[in-house]
């Protein structure tokens, strides 16, 4: 896990060399572990998303399943989810930029975000 945290922190430093105190807080919280990280992937046409009409009928089931997965997740490690804008906005009730990293705790309390692009 330390290796994954190192890679994540390294990637963050490449994409955003001007860390603010807010980013330092996010990184500090990530180092403590037990956080949930949503990363909005960059534009990737062709990936299935309930944003597309033919998959929309599964939206409620997918969100319910994801919430259950997070509810059952019990680890001191960080849970990293790379997903779509629509999933993040449905789960957290706000939008994200392409490549943005959003960190929350298990109670869905917003800790911070880091823009990478």
Give pLDDT tens digits for 27-83.
Answer: 888 899 999 998 887 665 555 566 667 777 888 888 899 999 999 999 999 999 988
Kindly tell me the number of DSSP H helices and DSSP E strands found in the chain.
5, 4
- The residue segments making up the domain with residue 83 are 2-114
Q: What angle do CA 69, 74, 80 make, to 5 degrees?
A: 65
* pLDDT score recorded for residue 108: 93
pTM of the complete model beyond 0.85: no
How many structural domains compose the chain?
1
- In DSSP terms, 102 is beta-bridged to 38, 113
What's the pLDDT tens digit per position in 9-27?
Answer: 666 555 555 555 567 888 8
What's the pLDDT tens digit per position in 71-104?
Answer: 999 999 999 998 888 888 889 998 888 888 899 9
């Amino acid at each position: 896990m330390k290796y994954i945290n190192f890679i994540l922190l390294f990637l963050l430093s490449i994409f955003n060399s001007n860390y603010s105190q807010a980013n330092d807080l996010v990184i500090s919280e990530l180092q403590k572990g037990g956080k949930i990280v949503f990363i909005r992937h960059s534009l990737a046409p062709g990936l299935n998303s309930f944003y597309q009409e033919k998959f929309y009928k599964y939206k409620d089931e997918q969100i319910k399943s994801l919430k259950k997965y997070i509810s059952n997740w019990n680890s001191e490690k960080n849970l990293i989810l790379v997903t779509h804008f629509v999933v993040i906005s449905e789960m957290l009730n706000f939008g994200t930029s392409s490549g943005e990293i959003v960190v929350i705790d298990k109670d869905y309390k917003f800790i911070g975000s880091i823009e990478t692009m």
